[in-house]
Each structure stands twice: as C-alpha cells, then as structure tokens.
Chains A and B, each alone.
Chain A
C-alpha cells in the first residue's frame, strides 16, 4: 500500500515500493499488463506481508515511468515530464515537491493548497510542466576549448 505523505527532509535513498496499481499508473499501462509482464519475467515484483504485489520505484523508473495516455487536456506548455512524486515537504503555506521523471528529478514549489487538492504524496503519479519561456539555457564550457 502507499505510505502516507512523506514529510521527510530527503526522500529515502533505499528504493521505495509501489503497489501494482500505483506502478501501473506511473508506467502508463494497465494492471493486467503488469501482471502479464510479471509472468513473462519483464518486471520484478516482491510481495508484502499480505501477499500483495509490490514494485520497486527503481523498477518503475526502468520501465519508463512515463504515462502513455494523457488526461486528454490540451495545454500549450511545451515541456511535460511524467513521473512519480518522491517527496513532499510542507512548510506553512508552501510545499516543496520532488518528482522523479525517468532519469530526471524535478523540484517544484507550489502551495500547500495545491498539494492537498491534487492529493500529492509519495508514490502518486504526477506530471511536471514548464512553459518554454521559463526554461533558461546555459552554455556548458567545452573543457578542451580555450577560455575567452
């Protein structure tokens, strides 16, 4: 089962486990598909004390962790990264939420109200969205190039 919202300062280093339903949503496939993958040896699962299947966060990440079906909402923002919430810290009216989207970890600062309205907690699938005009670009210096 999904643990309660994490208020830990840092997410656990150890890989967390998601229920099969959470894992299916994070990867963007049905629970039936995950069960089929399990039988075919494509995904590693463990069992909890009640014999329910658990999928590690690493395993979810390995399988893309990117939903195939979008909610269908049309949004002009060009940058969308599907992932899973790995940490939620609430500080007064503001919350810091970390989302692991494939190899990327996004840090988002949103209001506490938004966190509560969206039900954001560790293990919840979420999409990080950024307008193109909010994306800055810095040149990485080529180590072999002379400084100027």
Chain B
C-alpha cells in the first residue's frame, strides 16, 4: 500500500502491553525506542508481538518541533 505520510520508519516490535481497550507497542527503530498507543483490536488484528517487523508511520502535521531556547 502506498501512503501519503512523510514519516515512515521501519523497525521491530520490542514489547506489546495490552490494556482493556488500548495497547502500548514499543518499536525499536535503528536503536531508538518509539512508543505507539493503538487500540487493542488493532494490535491483535495485526498480530503484533515481540519481534514483529513493522513500519511506524507519523503524519508530518503530528510532528512537533522544539528548541532548547537558550
């Protein structure tokens, strides 16, 4: 599938914590951990588990920028 999102980072799932409704999925992207909160249903239907090869997708409008503001 082609998708318009500008930020797509391939990675590997390092943990999946299931809650009642949501799931917290941690993905290793080139040595850095990225946390995603998706629904439990999504995590289950994707069959996400430790070691799953995934792509993390973030819309450019969801990326905030900050500076140290010295």
Binding site for B on A (CB under 8 A): 25, 67, 71, 77-79, 81, 96-97, 99, 102-104, 106-110, 114, 118-120, 124-140, 142
Q: Across the interface, do B67 and A127 meet the contact criterion of CB distance under 8 Å?
A: yes
Q: Does A128 lie within 8 Å of B36, measured CB to CB?
A: no
* Closest-CB distance, B39 to chain A (whole angstroms): 10
Count of B interface residues, CB-CB < 8 Å: 43
A125 to B61, CA, bound (A): 19
Q: Is the CB of A128 within 8 A of B64?
A: yes
Partner of A79, one of B10, B35, B66: B35
Report the minimal beta-carbon distance from B53 to chain A, rounded to whole angstroms. 4
Q: Are B65 and A127 in contact (CB under 8 A)?
A: yes
Contacting A136 at CB < 8 Å: which of B24, B56, B60? B56
Interface pair B53/A142, CB less than 8 Å apart: yes
